[in-house]
Structure 1
């Protein structure tokens, strides 16, 4: 009897070890990703690059990350996932450190693009690996724990960037070297992770499907007729459009438009992200699992995601237009809490709405969707709008009539608060996200039926 009970106990203990390992790696992943945003003000001062140029560097990371995701999605459904992830960790860690040696805009762009390759590997494969260690009924919480490191990592990136990047401390180049190299130590542990049977924690019928070998085109055909999955991609793309631009530009926005120093801006954003984002991520997973036990199929997860995006547009708008530090900081906190509320549920939707042998492919396609239609556009767009308005102001020319109308309506200056005006696109994107998730909850797949 002892032997019979020991095996499940050891299996669950090992599953939590895998969760802890992947969660720690996700923390390093997001520190390396977001420290660059915190370093933007220092890089601008040191190099003279414009908002538009640095927005292009940010978009280079995003586009390469996006384009590589389907490739890793394909291999992630077919080869040992732990070893593949280990290769990605080595690449993104070396590339993060290497960006500190860049002596031109092109070199900086190439280094950040290489970070995108390594992180695409990890982000695409890790959720699939977790889904094969935990049952459907607990995946909301598990994915939320995993995703909770996003705001913590982002906050750590902002705080570390704000302090390490200061020329009186280490400078932005050394800051990238300091945060980049520790990931190499974690790669070895990841290479030793055991590969579970695909679909091991799903229903027997789904396990049989997991053993089925399907071609690349057939896999995408199945995804493209899955309406619940497609609307999940659409909703997440709209959220990423808003959140990606807000987080990337927030340090410069708080400095240039709100009057905070680099350290104050990074510290404020770090606190908002780590507390609001972490609480949102964890509560969202528990809430999604609880609602899903009372609703059909995946409808509980869709409901949490719809509320997350639909409600967050209000505090985000207030944060952009308010001149009061108490108001805009409180609303930034509330925005991040609400947006991250959907993080665990949306990743649970992706793995639960598709067959086990398509999960990394589905995650890869999701990554393409959210960045092609999300922050792959919004990062550069915000930088371009801000730079354009500042050039008009420098030349003594008035802004376009529509911009003048919006600025007057929101009580923003089109000459000194250009980032605030550009970021007004983001609350509208969150409304779109809420609608997409709401429609997703009405699909046959959300109700547990085949499309």
Structure 2
């Protein structure tokens, strides 16, 4: 073979990562670019995969510090001193430390998804099992905490490599950052939720039990996020709309600025009447639509909620924009938006009841109420006001700017409404499976009883 003749191209198959690389190709793979996979996934599915990994990372660190959140109760229950109590975390960390290299080795050679799922199954079973340990068997709790380290060892070593395969460059850095943000967030929530559940149930063991159904119930999690977004929107609009419309009328010259009390309450009367009527109409309409579709479409309820929120957001956006020119048009779109938003109220309660088993419903309801108010309507009025105050520095004298700065602040509500619609749409993807699981668990409990 002469030197001018093309050399045959040999192909090396790296089986462990399902990679095919042309060893003599003139185009060498970049060091920051993942090898080509035989089954590449779409960008949308890559983002969903990262969201799932972040969510599991959140649960992972919540689990790590749940014990710390109820440690006083554990000490009283088992009658153990501080040194023995510290052993619970020591065995967990040691287990994780020694198993992490093993899972790393396996992850480079075998199917990472299967390895991660297997580790998580052990994690879930041992966490749940540790909540049934008797007072005389503290050593069993120590053993189960050691086995819980299996879950973190399998997950924390493999998940970042999966993200690394899905993204490159700055986008990969950003996704990795999102993933690791959930370490402090999950740690903090582990303390809070562990203590909250223990106080609500009167038993520290429920802090370990409840999460292993409720927080792995995807319909409950996504619908709770949707309820939180809905509470954010309704809380902010309910608080600020009368003031916003009053300032709008001052801007249009329909009334003078209020300098002395009492201020004109007309907008409060009108908005209050609209809220009452649209609330009644929306709730009955949502219930009727749900009854008509539920038998034919198993995921009808969360889809109705998604459509309600996604379609109400443009209405609120148009209402906010039109406030500067037409108050009647603003009230019209507010009424339409509130009716669409009110479709969800009765349905939301029903979703929780049929995706959570009866023995967990009260706790699930309490957690959902806590989250939706804490992150929703408890803070949204203040946040809108804070944004408005921050914009005040641009013009501290003009009544027109008083209206505009509040207008720009309230525009956050339609954005959150769209996000809530997405959360309810995600609920619709899992609700059929979660409802069936709840029914099976409930039937099993009835048999045992």
TM-score range relative to shorter protein: 0.3 to 0.5
Structure with more contact order per residue of length (Cα contacts < 8 Å, sep ≥ 6): 1
Q: TM-score, normalised by structure 1?
A: 0.46
Larger Rg over CA atoms:
2
